[in-house]
Structure 1
Amino acid sequence: MIQNIKKIFTIVTMLSVTAVFAQQDPQYTQYMYNTLTVNSAYAGSLGHLTINGLYRTQWVGLDGAPTTQSFTLDTPVAKNVGLGLSIVNEEIGPSEEQYIDANFSYTIKSGNTHKLSFGIKGGGRVVNIDWTKGSHRDPDVEFRENVTNKFLPVVGAGMYWHGERDYIGIAVPNFLTKERYNYDDIADDLVNERMHLYLIGGIVFDLSAHTKFKPAVLVKYVAGAPIIADFSANFMFNNVFTLGASYRTSDSVSALASLQIAPQFMVGYAYDYTTTELQNYNSGTHEIVLRFELISRKNGLKSPRFF
């Protein structure tokens, strides 16, 4: 019995380290519906007000596993100008972080069919660590200071090249190296985070009059860590129902589905199955996304894309 407890404790500790160093920023399976959190240049690119809400609970059944909630709003406000707001809350173990970012984009024409958008963002992150929620830390250190609070500035930028049926973007969410919760060293609450680089892309193909194929990819690079890539393949039927699958390198495989309930409202769901040894200690990851677009029934959607 004691050996089993030690084994579980070791796995949870390994999980905590993995969550921080392989997943320093929140990750999303339905990134194609949540692009503003990845790239600030996306703001206003759809040509109308768009509101997104996302809830993600990762590695269900494992205490201290990440949970994430995000809210984004973006809209064009003038010719070639877009604005957006992104709010994210993430909890991992005894830590809780809130991200609040304002996004600005400026768009120019790039040929007859495409546009190129440049984006910047600024905001901050509030980090709260409450050691009373955990028990694996050295008690002598734990009771020295139970709660840690930090405010950390955020400055990021991105580029987003897009047409009616394809897009590609590159972004750095934050140029500032900042502190964050450190699971690996109980002597230090916070460690410096490395700069991230995101590459995102997707395209739409017509397979028939009623079926479209929508592959997409998100690549995340952090200096000193393995590259993480999400490869997604979705099929849309009658411009209403989408069904697909995705693969995250060295992490999980996923099933995705979405339904365009009305021209203005879409709901999506994703289930991740862990492919690492952690699959023995959790029942998977669930993610739900809701999207509202302020468009009239008369005009409808500009295209059947979901990006």
Structure 2
Amino acid sequence: MKRTLYTIIFFIACVPLVKAQQRPQYTQYIFNNYLLNPALSGIENYTDVKAGYRSQWTGLEGAPVTGYLSINAPIGKNFIQGDATAFPASGGVNPSSRLYTQQYQAAEPHHGIGLTIVSDKTGPITQTNIDATYAYHLGLTERLNLAVGVSAGFSHNVLNTSQITTADPSDPIFNNLDNNQWKPDLGIGIWAYSSDYFIGVSAQQILPQNLYITSKTNAYQNKTVPHYFLTGGFKVFLSDDVTLIPSVLFKYIKPVPTTYDINMKLSFQDKLWIGGSYRHNDSYAALVGINLSSFVNLGYSYDFTTSALNTVSNGTHEIVIGILLNNRYKVSSAQHTF
């Protein structure tokens, strides 16, 4: 049964009209938009480290499993040593509060750098992306910043042929497999942000590459395609320290139909947040997060599958841990991201 499923997954991946994306998806994108947009490199004035693990469609053999590590930090003397929104050493005003928004000023112009390592395994296919990122942040007005970023690196693609069986072992398609490849990877992004709203546009995997099948007549059957993302969100103050943050993420991956996620996050001061998410024609999700200290925070989500896979899937688990290094202002939650 296991080999049969892997075979099905492999051949579906080779079909040009398959309704699936080639890069992993995340339920807690609001917790780490940096994974989707390199323009967020160095957006906070501390070194932001996050590690995540996602087990999709648990109970289904060969279902996607994703792990990642990301780190990014600002560069720039003015920003690191005290920008216009710097907190005092004790932590200062809760960045989710109405008072913080009233006092907000755009951050000083600065650079940001970072690194992402993402490994995604689906059946016999494992893809690992290693990308360095860079961004420049500029104040457009007294309260609005614009950041432009780029990511560049490599994608390592491995196909475990020992997990594939076919009715015809002499199938010629397997004579042209290159099952261990390194390919260049490139992405770009733009991010506009203020104290109470953000909007971003980004593209990943913008250099299409042929994978696995090296025959010129079959190359079109397994080719990477660009992934485009549009996201935005804003704050609604329910009280001085309770904030509702609606956000949306649109994904366009040709030839897949455009899809979207709708997310609602309810933040209680800078200590705790809960939320819910809807992914079009796929799932509903419950989310919760806690800022344990000025050094570590934690997020968890569970997806309830609504697609046809709900008959064989036990849902999706995703956990993210965040570390705030060099956090000289001792803030326990992000100042510039939501």
Same fold, judged at TM 0.5 (above) = yes
Query: Does the CA contact (< 8 Å) of 2:135 and 2:150 recur in 1?
Result: yes
Structure 1 residue 107 corresponds to structure 2 residue 133: no
CA change 1:144–1:16 in 2 (3 A) is closer
Residue in structure 2 matched with residue 68 of structure 1 by the alignment: 66
Residue in structure 2 matched with residue 120 of structure 1 by the alignment: 150
Query: Does the CA contact (< 8 Å) of 2:65 and 2:120 recur in 1?
Result: yes
Query: Does the CA contact (< 8 Å) of 1:115 and 1:163 recur in 2?
Result: yes
CA deviations 1:204-263 (Å, max 9, x no partner) are 221013321011111110222211111100111232111111000011110101011112
Q: Give the structure, 1 or 2, with the largest relative contact order (CA under 8 Å, sep 6 or more).
A: 2
Structure 1 residue 93 corresponds to structure 2 residue 123: yes
Structure 1 residue 13 corresponds to structure 2 residue 33: no
Letter aligned with residue 50 of structure 1: D
Quick one: distance in 2 between partners of 1:298 and 1:46?
Answer: 11
CA change 1:161–1:138 in 2 (3 A) is farther
In structure 2, stretches of 5+ residues that fail to align are: 77-108
Query: Does the CA contact (< 8 Å) of 1:181 and 1:189 recur in 2?
Result: no
Moved more, 20-29 or 108-117: 20-29
Residue in structure 1 matched with residue 111 of structure 2 by the alignment: 81
Quick one: distance in 1 between partners of 2:329 and 2:114?
Answer: 25
Structure 1 residue 27 corresponds to structure 2 residue 25: yes
In structure 1, stretches of 5+ residues that fail to align are: none
Letter aligned with residue 54 of structure 1: G
Letter aligned with residue 228 of structure 2: L
Quick one: distance in 2 between partners of 1:11 and 1:131?
Answer: 10
Residue in structure 2 matched with residue 231 of structure 1 by the alignment: 262
**2:195 aligned to which of 164, 170, 176:** 164
Per residue, is there more strand in 1 or in 2? 1
Residue in structure 2 matched with residue 293 of structure 1 by the alignment: 324
Residue in structure 1 matched with residue 100 of structure 2 by the alignment: none
CA change 1:136–1:256 in 2 (3 A) is farther
CA deviations 1:177-213 (Å, max 9, x no partner) are 123468xxxx879711222211121222210133210
Quick one: distance in 1 between partners of 2:29 and 2:175?
Answer: 40
Structure 1 residue 155 corresponds to structure 2 residue 153: no
**1:220 aligned to which of 219, 243, 251:** 251
Moved more, 171-180 or 189-198: 189-198
Give the TM-score, by structure 2 length. Answer: 0.80
Structure 1 residue 278 corresponds to structure 2 residue 278: no
Deviation at 1:135, TM superposition (A): 3.0
**2:204 aligned to which of 173, 177, 184:** 173
CA deviations 1:270-307 (Å, max 9, x no partner) are 10111111100010000000111125475425766753
When the two structures are aligned, how many residues end up with a matched partner? 297
Query: Does the CA contact (< 8 Å) of 1:180 and 1:191 recur in 2?
Result: yes
Query: Does the CA contact (< 8 Å) of 1:43 and 1:105 recur in 2?
Result: yes
Quick one: distance in 2 between partners of 1:180 and 1:22?
Answer: 16
Structure 1 residue 194 corresponds to structure 2 residue 225: yes
Query: Does the CA contact (< 8 Å) of 1:165 and 1:305 recur in 2?
Result: no
CA change 1:233–1:305 in 2 (3 A) is farther
Aligned-pair RMSD on alpha carbons? 2.8
Quick one: distance in 2 between partners of 1:163 and 1:14?
Answer: 43
Residue in structure 2 matched with residue 266 of structure 1 by the alignment: 297
Letter aligned with residue 101 of structure 1: D
Q: Percent identity?
A: 30
Quick one: distance in 2 between partners of 1:201 and 1:32?
Answer: 10
Quick one: distance in 1 between partners of 2:233 and 2:10?
Answer: 31
